[in-house]
Chain A
Amino acid sequence: FPVVPEKEKEDMEFAKKYLENFYDFKEEKHSLFRSKNPNHMSDKIREMQSFFGLEVTGELNHKTLDMMKQPRCGIPDIRSYS
């Protein structure tokens, strides 16, 4: 069923945090240098979808969000771990 609007906002925040933790996503408004690619977040979603073998759409769809909500290890999934 369609998702309730504030739920959507909540989900988006959750997804941002997830991508920050595990896929080196940095939200634009904090960085001094604007990234050339305005779809930075959907790139990161694509990276996460590809890692988990989900359909790569770049969209925060139900399955992607479901996967993000699985209990997991706190180490990032991609290399830029420091």
Chain B
Amino acid sequence: TFPHSPRWQKEDVTYRILNYTPDMLEADVDEAIAKALQLWSSVTPLKFIRIYSGQADIMISFAAGFHGDFYSFDGPGGTLAHAYAPSSGIGGDAHFDEDENWTKFTTYTGYNLFLVAAHELGHSLGLGHSNVFGALMYPIYMARDTRDYRLHQDDIDGIQALYGPPRESPVFPTRAFPPQKPTETIPAETPTEMPPWEEPTVMTPSKTPMRPEDCDPHLTFDAITTLRGETLFFKGSYVWRKSPYFSGIEHDTISSFWPSLAAGFDAAYEVDKKDRVLFFKDDQYWAVSGYSIERSFPKPIQDLGFPPSVRKIDAAVHDQNTKKTYLFVGNKYWSFNENTQSMERGYPRKIAADFHGIGHTVDAAFQKNGHFYFFHGSKQYEVDIKNKKLIRTKKSNSWFNC
């Protein structure tokens, strides 16, 4: 929070959108702001009432360069927006740098207004910055998939420290709401037309198994992939993230990167030249580019050329040199040509026939520094990509400096 933890001393907070950016439809700006506010109203007793004239608690505007306060904007990039802690006058107001390209979707050429607004409105309600990577109140913009976007637990802890939990604490996911009519309040309670209750496997932490210890000798992995130079190890909803830039291992959850993807991948691989990672779960697969999930996914794995009898795959690994991707199912594997986007003839073949020393199923696989790494249970097998010869075996979690 800010010094002395300023907060609104009431539950009905008004907001007003003073002007618009030409980058987006006005209705899309309205929706982005309302959706951002709903993030906070869904975890607190707060209600946000939009007014169209006069002084609101939170005045929202777009401006470029010097715009009348002590914090002039700096042109494209750099500072994207700022907002003031709760108090009278400028307190609570949120300003967005008009020199940025504001977008409704998560793109690489612009900044998602919903994400930035949600962060700035956190300030408008009294939250300071958080150094928890992945938290909404982390000061650096991170492009994310905003479908089914949920607050990080750190954000929820912060805002509830100021305002407490919602009156009726919803225990199931809130649905992205439709645009509101003027002067209609945004209810903190959940709309009645919610789907019949289903127990979410991810939403209630008490149901999620604990993350295994890094150096647990029995640690196994569902899937492993590289991603822009990093290596991500998946198990259930958890991700172990190894970066060449940081010495430690970072622990995240799949939902903190891709909120709309279910936990428990079967396989994953990166086609680095296309900045694309494919995730497989059961008979479907998704393509992501960074945080963005490509449209028209998920797709059935049969689209890749598997016969109908294959209902899921065990592991996948892409060979950057030959542009072929090996997909493992049971004791066999297929070879998919990324250039022609088609399965190679003559497959499936027996894994053991081509990869000496690998006489069992493969749980997960990735490639690095000219080697394939095949994981089976708590063991991994380092294989020379060129001659497919086994070099040595190691513990599955040897990458975690155990």
* Other-chain contact of B129, A21, A54, A67, A75 (Cβ < 8 Å): A75
The reply on B331 being an interface residue by CB < 8 A is no
Mark out the residues of chain A between 65 and 82 whose CB falls within 8 Å of any chain B CB in the assembled complex.
Answer: 67, 70-77, 79-81
Q: Do B131 and A73 have beta carbons less than 8 Å apart?
A: no
Tell me the complex Cα distance, A63–B247, Å: 13
Using CB atoms, name the residue of chain A closest to B97.
A74
Q: Which residues of A contact B128 (CB under 8 A)?
A: 75, 79, 81
Tell me the complex Cα distance, A63–B245, Å: 8
The reply on B71 being an interface residue by CB < 8 A is yes
Q: Do B71 and A74 have beta carbons less than 8 Å apart?
A: yes
Q: Which residues of A contact B123 (CB under 8 A)?
A: 73, 75
Tell me the complex Cα distance, A54–B79, Å: 21
The reply on B77 being an interface residue by CB < 8 A is yes
The interface size of chain B toward A, counting residues with CB under 8 Å, comes to 28
* Other-chain contact of B133, A53, A63, A73, A80 (Cβ < 8 Å): A53
Contact residues of B: prevailing secondary structure: loop
Using CB atoms, name the residue of chain B closest to A52.
B131
Q: Do B141 and A71 have beta carbons less than 8 Å apart?
A: yes
Tell me the complex Cα distance, A63–B246, Å: 10
Using CB atoms, name the residue of chain B closest to A74.
B82
Residue-wise interface mask of B (127-145) relative to A, using a CB-CB cutoff of 8 A (1 in contact, 0 not): 0110101000001110000
Q: Do B111 and A71 have beta carbons less than 8 Å apart?
A: yes
User: Knowing A53-B131, A79-B128 touch, does A73 contact B119 (C-beta < 8 A)?
Assistant: yes
Q: Which residues of A contact B3 (CB under 8 A)?
A: 79-81
The reply on B258 being an interface residue by CB < 8 A is no
13 more A-B contacts (CB under 8 A) besides A55-B247, A73-B140?
A21-B79, A22-B139, A51-B131, A54-B246, A70-B140, A71-B77, A71-B79, A73-B119, A74-B73, A74-B80, A75-B128, A75-B129, A79-B128
Which residues of A pack against B, CB within 8 Å? Answer: 21-22, 51-55, 63, 67, 70-77, 79-81
* A and B contact pairs by CB, cutoff 8 A, 27 listed: A53-B133, A53-B246, A54-B246, A55-B247, A70-B140, A71-B77, A71-B100, A71-B141, A72-B79, A73-B80, A73-B81, A73-B82, A73-B116, A73-B119, A73-B139, A73-B140, A73-B141, A74-B73, A74-B79, A75-B128, A75-B139, A77-B129, A77-B139, A79-B2, A79-B3, A81-B3, A81-B128
